[in-house]
Amino acid sequence: MALSQSGATRDHWSSRSAFILAAVGSAVGLGNLWRFPAEAGANGGGAFVLFYIACVLLIGLPILLSETLIGRHGQSAAPESVRRVASASRASPRWDILAGMGVLAAFLILSFYCVVGGWVLYYIGVFIGDIFTSGIAGGAFEGQSAEAVEALLPDLFANGPMMVGMNFVFLAVTLYFVARGVSGGIEIVANYMMPAFFILLVAITIYGAFGGAFTQTLDYLFTFEPEKLTGPVMLAALGQAFFSLSLGVAGMITYGGYVGRNVNLAGTSAIIASADTLVALLAGLCLFPIVFAAGLAVGAGPGLMFQTLPHAFQEMPFGSVVGLLFFVMVGFAALTSSVALLEVPTAWMIDRFRIVRPLSAIIVAAGAMTLGALAALSFNVLSDWHPLGFIPVFEGQGFFDVLDGLTAKFFMPIGAILTAIFVGWVADRKLIDMENGLGGALHLFWLFLVRFLCPIALVGILVVGIFPGLFD
């Protein structure tokens, strides 16, 4: 173990595989299971999917490697790691703003992400209750109309205490693992929950292949129709590739700070990006056969997971069991991501204020719980409260949507743009060459992407976020 500036031993990943599982867990979350199928459904299927894969390779992977190498060189919390790279490159320490924005973004995302995690816990409870009352072949929504099922989530929205309580439970579980440290807590989540997540994802995908409209799904996701590759579709695919890998929140910088010198970052980053993309594709193969077989709309947006799918499960044999396993799987993915989000500001507090990990994690979690309660109540009690509503892009939005929009439209893209500029133009070339694990033409190609293509594409995400109707 390495020594921190405070003289205490710094925790590290116990192995390369532990780092890969943790990093995949950080990236794989609701963005893959919720946002990717919804975006693919809303943007024409195959054309979106193909361009999304290209964006992961040409935009997502280069930034992912950039963030990880900063962390590995710095061996500290994200802002301090950036300062150490800047110092070694004889650059201004003020470049740490890129990591500071990431730390703040991670904290804000954590506060509303755990609210969504609470929705997942709610549905786990619903399906467990249905199994006990109706048996494994029963359905919580059997015999009900689509309108009745779609009213289930708004009923949850209307229950402020339930929303706040579920948010608290999910955040408390997240806090437990982060407070235990890297090897004693975060690795446990990664080593057990990520394999279980993949097993459940594959199993439910196979189930859907035999019981659902799998051929229709394959045609929908992988038939390329050039006329559907419009400007808005390309921008949506680019944004999904960026958000799916959880870039711009200093997560990979933080996790990179626990990586040993013997790990090849280029190969490891490629595995992480590939696994994340595979999960996104499997999510589509898992969800769409069920939705198609039930004759429901695939372009339902965020309601696809929390409104459309519960209705679809009632049409399936043993739908209660499948629904339970599905939301347990979603819960695993949500927890591995929330652990990473809490770890980012926790690591910063440990390095910045020299306080012990459990206290640091508790302080951060308490702040996130406060904001999360406000976000949860913005669906009911505080529905008329519209902070930042005077800004056109946030006009009329509740606190939950404000937190989501503020991080997704501003903090994350700006942080990633600064990362690309810092690594591509400011950081010492010898330092970058030593850390990234690339060589020859591949290194030059990566450097070209980081210097030119990535900043241009990320500026596009930023502009579209601020002016959403600009390219319609």
Report the candidate in 206, 199, 212 with the shortest Cα–Cα distance to residue 316: 212
Q: Token pair for residue 338?
A: 């929330």
How far is the C-alpha of 410 from the C-alpha of 404, rounded, in Å? 10
pLDDT tens for the chain, residues 1 to 472: 444 434 445 688 988 999 999 999 998 887 788 778 878 877 878 889 999 999 999 999 999 999 999 999 999 999 999 999 999 999 999 999 999 999 999 999 999 999 999 999 988 988 888 777 766 555 545 555 555 555 554 567 778 889 999 999 999 999 999 999 998 899 999 999 999 999 999 998 888 787 668 888 888 888 888 888 888 888 888 988 888 898 999 999 999 999 988 899 999 999 999 999 999 999 888 888 887 877 766 665 556 677 777 777 766 777 788 889 999 999 999 999 999 999 999 999 999 999 999 999 999 999 999 999 999 998 888 877 888 777 777 777 889 989 988 998 899 999 999 999 999 999 999 999 999 888 889 999 999 999 999 999 999 889 888 877 665 5
What's residue 315's pLDDT?
67
pLDDT at residue number 7: 40
CB < 8 Å & 24+ apart, contacts of 299-302: 299/38, 299/41, 299/42, 300/38, 300/41, 301/38, 301/41, 301/42, 302/34, 302/35, 302/38
Residue 9, beta-bridge partner list:
3
Residue 76 tokens, joined: 């500290």
Domain positions in the chain:
2-466
Residue entry with tokens 């999917």: 49
Q: What pLDDT sits at residue 96?
A: 96
- Bridge partners (DSSP) of residue 3 are 9
Contacts of 117 (CB under 8 A, 6+ apart): 166, 167, 170, 171, 174, 331, 334, 335, 338
CA angle 16/22/24 to nearest 5° reads 100
What number does CATH give the domain 2-466? 1.20.1740
Sequence-distant (≥ 6) Cβ neighbours of residue 434 within 8 angstroms: none
Whether the CB-CB separation of 28 and 197 falls below 8 Å is answered with: yes
**What is the C-alpha to C-alpha distance for residues 435 and 448, in angstroms, rounded to an integer?**
17
Q: Evaluate whether 211 touches 322 at the Cβ level (below 8 Å).
A: no
pTM of the model: 0.91
Beta bridge mates, 2: 10
Using an 8 Å Cβ cutoff, are 432 and 90 in contact?
A: no
Predicted pLDDT of residue 319? 76
